[in-house]
């Protein structure tokens, strides 16, 4: 089985993505996670560019890594400076890593227009920089910046550039589609040509501006590239870098290469871990690791999958740490409902009940309800239809007041609520909030907390309002989706009404009742207030 080296640049190239910033502590945590995942090379940053990366390389020296080599990144020396006096190269050596990656110009256009030096002077920068680093006993990878554009514009000079790196002792020549605009066929052809004309190992570094970074990386490997550079979740500048969460499964499962051994099942966990630290949302439709990657909605699909999963799944989701999901909607059939019931531990003793639930589901969706992102509401609906539901409280009424004294002051919101508990006690209370829905949520919790203490664990993670299609302007219906969670899970609930407060109330109540059902909490009449 041929080994492909996986080189992760999430901490450097990935950090250049819009709205992504990693602290030193973040970078150390991600380093440890990537090492556990089996990544071969982790590019930690550019020590010559900022103090934060210098601090990172100091801290990472104390880590006991099992699989990864830490890599310092930088550029070739500045023109007019001897290599031994170049501050950037000295910072790379001072980082203390066993591997250093430097990039250099291989596109004659960049040499003339960006560096403003002669083509021969650029070749000398490449050669002298690599020779200097090799004298310090480190492994050196050379990132051939804009190589594919350079090859297209001036093939002879692009090859001379990588030959200079090879003669200087570079351990890997990494061909970079820096602008991300190349297509797989061209990348494969050029990579193959390079491999035939050098003795050194060749790698690929692709950006995703034409949405081909993964395909371009695979194309390069198919003709002999042995190192793939990319980032977790494809994070990176502009449209991002090659997504290792897709590349690794493609190489290892589909093509039989060895990348990270038996750690493949961790890929989804690593994907979500990096997103959480970066404080960005998970992409539901991301291949292999997304929540929707193995989610099935159409009834005919579910019916087939229950017989043979490979009918509509290209791999078993467990291979990448994911799981099969059955969605419920107006496209669903009985198979969806029955399979979903099994997931929730609900059993239909009467098959007519499953058809009745399916009919109810289709009616609700026609009214604007949507349960794909609100499975907690669907589970409650299912349990109501099978008698496994118990009512935690009865609403006797609520009132929400929004008051604004003048246009320069913020509006104030207050909610009053009256509930009857299962033991007959009536709770009548009020609360303020930063908006009408928040005030209502606070009042509801204030009334219920003495009876259901576990509700204190519930956190509102997300609140979305979607105006349903219609022509009545502000009088049209709305759908409210709420994502809640406690210490060990998250769940979604939904409400629909022409009144946004009513729709919000429906979703809030479902969220509360789902938590109580999940914990199997029932009101103890002797619980002290």
* Topology classification of domain 5-278: TIM Barrel (3.20.20)
pTM: 0.72
Report pLDDT for 517. 84
Structure tokens at 31: 């380093």
Q: What local confidence, expressed as pLDDT, does residue 330 receive? A: 43
Q: Check pLDDT > 70 for residue 470.
A: no
- The owner of tokens 């804009």 is 146
3-state secondary structure 452-474: CHHHHHCEEEEEEEEECCCCCHH
Rounded CA-CA distance 363/425 in Å is: 35
Q: Are strands 5-8 and 227-230 parallel, antiparallel or unpaired?
A: parallel
The answer, yes or no, to whether residue 343 has pLDDT greater than 80, is: no
Distance (Å, whole) CA 259 – CA 253: 10
Whether the pLDDT of residue 458 is over 80: the answer is: yes
Residue 437 in tokens = 């829905």
pLDDT attached to residue 231: 98
Which one, of 478, 472, 471, lies nearest residue 501 by Cα? 478
| pLDDT tens digits, one per residue of 153-198 | 999 999 999 999 999 999 999 999 999 999 999 999 999 999 999 9
In the chain, domain spans: 5-278, 295-366, 394-519
Q: What is the mean pLDDT of residues 129-145?
A: 98
30: nearest Cα among 18, 15, 19: 15
How many other C-beta atoms are found inside a 10 Å radius of the C-beta of residue 300?
13
Candidates 340, 381, 362; CA nearest to 494 is 381
Average pLDDT of the chain is: 89
Buried b (16+ CB within 10 A) or exposed e, 201-211: bbbbbbbbbbe
Question: 79: which residues sit within 8 A by CB, 6+ positions away?
Answer: 115, 117, 121, 125
Range among 28-32, 321-325, 477-481 with highest mean pLDDT value = 28-32
Instruction: Please tell me the distance from the alpha carbon of residue 198 to that of residue 191, in angstroms, as a whole number.
Output: 11
CATH class, 394-519 region: alpha beta
User: Residue 489: is its pLDDT beyond 70?
Assistant: yes
Residues 6+ apart with CB under 8 A from 412: 402, 403, 404, 432
Q: CA 173, 175, 180: angle at the middle one, nearest 5?
A: 160
Question: Vertex 481, ends 323 and 356: CA angle to 5°?
Answer: 70
Q: What share of the chain is helix, strand, coil (3-state, %, to 5)?
A: 45, 20, 35
* pLDDT value, residue 528: 41
Instruction: Please name the residues in contact with 189: beta carbons below 8 A apart, sequence gap of 6 or more.
Output: none
- Paired tokens of 363: 């009616």
Does pLDDT of 302 surpass 60? no
Higher pLDDT, 147 or 311: 147
More confident residue, 422 or 122: 122
Cα separation of 257 and 221, whole Å? Answer: 10
What confidence tier does 471 reach under pLDDT thresholds 50, 70, 90?
A: very low
Average pLDDT over residues 62-85: 95
Q: Which of 407-411, 416-420, 433-437 has the lowest mean pLDDT?
A: 407-411
pLDDT in tens, 225-263: 999 999 999 999 999 999 999 999 999 999 999 999 999
380-411 pLDDT per residue, tens: 888 887 777 778 899 999 999 999 888 888 89
Do 203 and 173 form a contact (C-beta atoms < 8 A)? yes
The DSSP line for 344-383 is: HT---SSHHHHHHHHHHHHHHHHTT---TT-HHHHHHHHH
426 within 8 A of 447, measured Cβ to Cβ: no
Q: What would the 3-class secondary structure string for 102-138 be?
A: EEEECCHHHHHHHHCCCHHHHHHHHHHHHHHHHCCCC
Backbone φ and ψ for 345, nearest 5 degrees, come out as: 75, 25
CB atoms within 10 A of CB 174: 26
Q: What is the mean pLDDT of residues 86-106?
A: 97
| Spatial contact of 256 and 248, defined as CB atoms under 8 Å apart | no
Residue 139 has pLDDT above 80, yes or no: yes
Residue 300's pLDDT is 61
Per-residue model confidence (pLDDT) at position 242:
98
Residue 2's CB: how many other CB atoms inside 10 A? 11
Q: How far apart are CA 73 and CA 46, in angstroms?
A: 5
3 state SS of 211: coil
């Amino acid at each position: 089985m041929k080994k492909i080296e996986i080189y992760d640049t999430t901490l450097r190239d990935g950090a250049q993505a819009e709205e992504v910033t990693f602290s030193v502590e973040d970078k150390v945590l991600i380093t440890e996670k990537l090492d556990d995942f089996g990544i071969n090379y982790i590019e930690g940053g550019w020590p010559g560019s900022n103090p934060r990366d210098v601090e990172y390389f100091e801290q990472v020296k104390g880590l006991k890594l099992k699989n990864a080599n830490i890599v310092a990144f930088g550029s070739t020396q500045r023109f007019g400076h001897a290599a031994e006096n170049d501050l950037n190269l000295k910072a790379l050596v001072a980082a203390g890593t066993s591997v250093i990656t430097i990039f250099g110009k291989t596109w004659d256009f960049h040499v003339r227009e960006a560096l403003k030096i002669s083509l021969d002077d650029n070749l000398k920068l490449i050669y002298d920089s690599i020779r200097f680093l090799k004298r310090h006993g480190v492994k050196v990878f050379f990132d051939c910046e804009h190589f594919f554009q350079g090859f297209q514009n001036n093939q002879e000079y692009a090859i001379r550039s990588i030959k200079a790196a090879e003669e200087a002792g570079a351990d890997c020549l990494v061909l970079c589609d820096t602008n991300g605009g190349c297509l797989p066929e061209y990348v494969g052809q050029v990579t193959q040509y390079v491999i035939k004309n050098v003795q050194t190992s060749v790698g690929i570094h692709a950006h995703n501006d034409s949405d081909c970074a993964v395909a371009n990386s695979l194309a390069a490997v198919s003709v002999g590239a042995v190192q793939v550079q990319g980032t977790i979740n494809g994070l990176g500048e502009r449209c991002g870098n090659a997504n290792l969460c897709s590349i690794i499964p493609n190489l290892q499962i589909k093509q039989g290469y060895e990348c990270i051994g038996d750690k493949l099942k961790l890929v989804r966990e690593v994907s979500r871990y990096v997103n959480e630290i970066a404080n960005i949302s998970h992409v539901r439709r991301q291949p292999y690791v997304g929540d929707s990657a193995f989610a099935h909605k159409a009834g005919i699909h579910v019916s087939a999958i229950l017989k043979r999963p490979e009918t509509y799944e290209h791999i078993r989701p467990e291979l990448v740490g994911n799981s099969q999901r059955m969605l419920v909607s107006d496209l669903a059939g009985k198979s969806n409902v029955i399979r979903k019931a099994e997931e929730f531990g609900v059993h239909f003793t009467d098959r007519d009940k499953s058809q009745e639930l399916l009919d109810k589901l289709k009616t609700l969706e026609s009214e604007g309800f949507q349960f794909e992102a609100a499975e907690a509401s669907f589970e409650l609906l299912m349990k109501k239809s099978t008698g496994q539901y118990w009512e935690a409280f009865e609403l006797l009424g609520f009132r929400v007041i929004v008051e604004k004294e003048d246009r320069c002051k913020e509006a104030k919101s207050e909610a009053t609520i009256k509930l009857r508990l299962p033991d007959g006690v009536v709770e009548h209370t009020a609360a303020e909030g930063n908006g009408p829905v928040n005030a209502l949520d606070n009042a509801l919790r204030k009334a219920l907390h003495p009876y259901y203490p576990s509700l204190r664990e519930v956190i509102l993670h997300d609140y979305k309002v979607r105006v349903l299609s219609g022509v009545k302007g502000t009088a049209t219906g709305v759908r409210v989706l709420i994502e809640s969670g406690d210490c060990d899970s998250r769940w979604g609930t939904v409400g629909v009404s022409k009144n946004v407060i009513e729709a919000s109330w429906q979703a809030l109540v479902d969220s509360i009742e789902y938590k109580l059902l999940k914990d199997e909490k029932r009101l103890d009449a002797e619980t002290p207030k």
